[in-house]
A = this chain, B = another copy of it.
Amino acid sequence: MQRLGPWSREAWTVLALHLLRSSRSPNTGGLFFHCVQGGLVQSSAREFAEARMKTQLELNKEKSSFVIKTPKGTRDLSPQQMAIREKILNAVINCFKCHGAKGIDTPVFELKEILTEKYGEESRLIYELKDQGGELLALRYDLTVPFARYLAMNKIKKMKRYHVGKVWRRESPSIIQGRYREFCQCDFDIAGQFDPMIPDAECLKIIHEILSTLQLGDFLIKMSWKDVRQEMTGKIGLTPDVADQIGDYIQQCGGVSLVEQLLQDPKLSQNKQALEGLKDLKLLFEYLTLFGIAEKISFDLSLARGLDYYTGVIYEAVLLQSPTQQGEEALGVGSVAAGGRYDGLVGMFDPKGRKVPCVGLSIGVERIFSIVEQRMEVGPLIRATKKIQTTETQVLVATAQKNFLRERMKLIAELWDAGIRAEMLYKKNPSFLTQLHYCEETGIPLVAIIGEQELKDGVIKLRSVASRKEVDIKREDIVTEIQRRMSES
């Protein structure tokens, strides 16, 4: 019979039976003896175990036709990918915290009604859960609607929060091209009634900071406002071509210079509402100048964002492709951050429609992951010199002799208890070469070696993997010495 665990079920059963036989408990002894007679139990346990294995094997046979995969549009992340992701997420979260944001979390699914009427045409891309009795649920489509629901539910009128989490969209295969149906978003939002354009400017500053920190190359932040293009083509009756040409023109004028030009126009300054809009726009550009980022912001009427909830300024950051980046053509230029103002969304969840103005941004980390990953793959220099470290192990506890498992275990427990990141091979007698290879493969910088001589001398031999230098360290000093070396590197 195949072993089903650290030891066989039969052995366990026999052991259990024996316990009962030698049990001093009068209440259990009698009954137990009754069924032990004649080896009945042992054979019954074996039959059971064998029947079980057979069923499992049959199940495997049936399933051999079934392909093991992740669901369409999703993927696993390998340790290498996780290491890259962790670095990027840490940089993004650090920036959010730099701006005083608090973290929150919300469930991955919401009542279906919460998501209804928020995303316009894109609503058809929402994943719904099966009706298994009870509430009708759907996976969240972004982190903005759950945030608005959170504010309304808790009657919060003012909050600066960040939220990092997955969202799900049933993108059709033709659109998908490198986009995933499950992806991570990093959102920062400012809710509350404040003096105009100050939070809006901070959101743009944050996008600028994050893209600068991540060193993805040159970028541009395009700014527009919701629905204008749609109105021009729909209500005003322009052809999309013309609307785009208008956008091109505005984009050419760009940023501050455009605003200046407009304010000098006597016809425009006569219109009260246009003047008001222009004043806000000027204020925003003034703030962006104070923040030192105005030259990266372009005013682009042609920019459109599909989501229904935006009500004012919208923006999107794109990477400007450096023409010489080898092998990056396939990625194209895409949005890596986006956001805008949504003053009406929270009110839609409030029974009395009380509004909480909001402005925020979302970092498209999934796209950033792809870019960084691809660079690491195509950059032969990077690949050769900088192996991605997927563990943070500082020392391997090793031996060059046989029968030192117990000594290794005692030593590694000491290191673990001191908070040192340590590993050992799970073999009674691993070869010394195998242990050294393991360090080189995984990037472990130190080896703590114990053997007969070391045991006798009361020392541990500490070896640097890179320099191959070995020194004897007193057993009682080994923790301090490893900590010292790690703090130096």
Is A353 in contact with B274, judged by CB distance below 8 angstroms? no
Q: Which among B5, B19, B45, B422 is the interface contact of A231 at CB below 8 angstroms?
A: B45
Q: Is A260 an interface residue (CB 8 A)?
A: no
Q: Is A367 an interface residue (CB 8 A)?
A: no
Is A106 in contact with B76, judged by CB distance below 8 angstroms? yes
Is A69 in contact with B111, judged by CB distance below 8 angstroms? yes
Is A11 in contact with B274, judged by CB distance below 8 angstroms? yes
Per-position binary interface string of chain A over residues 51-77, scored 1 when its CB falls under 8 Å from any chain B CB and 0 otherwise: 000001101100110101111101111
Is A344 in contact with B137, judged by CB distance below 8 angstroms? no
Kindly list chain B residues whose C-beta atoms are within 8 Å of the C-beta of A21: 267
Residue in A12, A350, A352 with the greatest tally of chain B CB atoms within 10 Å: A12
Within 8 A of B (CB), among A295-323: 301, 310-313
What 10 A-B pairs have minimum CB-CB distances, sorted nearest first? A5-B312, A11-B277, A79-B102, A194-B426, A100-B423, A74-B107, A7-B277, A77-B105, A14-B274, A11-B273
Within 8 A of B (CB), among A230-278: 231-232, 235-239, 242, 245-246, 249-250, 262, 265, 267-268, 271, 273-278
Is B16 in contact with A246, judged by CB distance below 8 angstroms? yes
Is B44 in contact with A14, judged by CB distance below 8 angstroms? no
Query: Within the assembled complex, what's the spacing in Å between the Cα atoms of A16 and B303?
Result: 13
A330-338, A406-414, A447-455: which one contacts chain B?
A406-414
Given A290-B410, A393-B100, do A343 and B5 touch, yes or no (CB 8 Å)?
A: yes
The count of identical subunits is 2
Query: Within the assembled complex, what's the spacing in Å between the Cα atoms of A469 and B377?
Result: 54
Smallest CB separation, A148 vs chain B (Å): 10
Query: Within the assembled complex, what's the spacing in Å between the Cα atoms of A262 and B16?
Result: 11
Q: Which among B105, B130, B228 is the interface contact of A76 at CB below 8 angstroms?
A: B105
A196-204, A379-387, A475-483: which one contacts chain B?
A196-204
Given A100-B393, A242-B28, do A280 and B6 touch, yes or no (CB 8 Å)?
A: yes
24 intermolecular pairs with C-beta atoms under 8 Å apart: A4-B311, A6-B312, A7-B276, A7-B281, A11-B277, A13-B231, A14-B273, A32-B246, A57-B353, A59-B348, A68-B114, A70-B111, A76-B154, A82-B102, A86-B103, A98-B416, A98-B420, A98-B422, A100-B423, A128-B132, A129-B139, A198-B405, A198-B427, A290-B410
Smallest CB separation, A366 vs chain B (Å): 12
Smallest CB separation, A402 vs chain B (Å): 13
Q: Which among B63, B100, B135 is the interface contact of A391 at CB below 8 angstroms?
A: B100
Give the size of the chain A interface in residues (CB under 8 angstroms).
Answer: 174
Is A312 in contact with B7, judged by CB distance below 8 angstroms? yes
Identity of the chain B residue whose Cβ is nearest the Cβ of A237 in the assembled complex = B35
Q: Is A327 an interface residue (CB 8 A)?
A: no
Q: Is A400 an interface residue (CB 8 A)?
A: no
Is A28 in contact with B245, judged by CB distance below 8 angstroms? yes
Q: Which among B104, B235, B267, B286 is the interface contact of A82 at CB below 8 angstroms?
A: B104
Is A60 in contact with B347, judged by CB distance below 8 angstroms? yes
Q: Is A351 an interface residue (CB 8 A)?
A: yes
Q: Is A225 an interface residue (CB 8 A)?
A: yes
Is A268 in contact with B419, judged by CB distance below 8 angstroms? no
Q: Is A9 an interface residue (CB 8 A)?
A: yes
Kindly list chain B residues whose C-beta atoms are within 8 Å of the C-beta of A227: 9
Kindly list chain B residues whose C-beta atoms are within 8 Å of the C-beta of A50: none
Q: Is A392 an interface residue (CB 8 A)?
A: yes
Identity of the chain B residue whose Cβ is nearest the Cβ of A312 in the assembled complex = B5
Q: Is A150 an interface residue (CB 8 A)?
A: yes
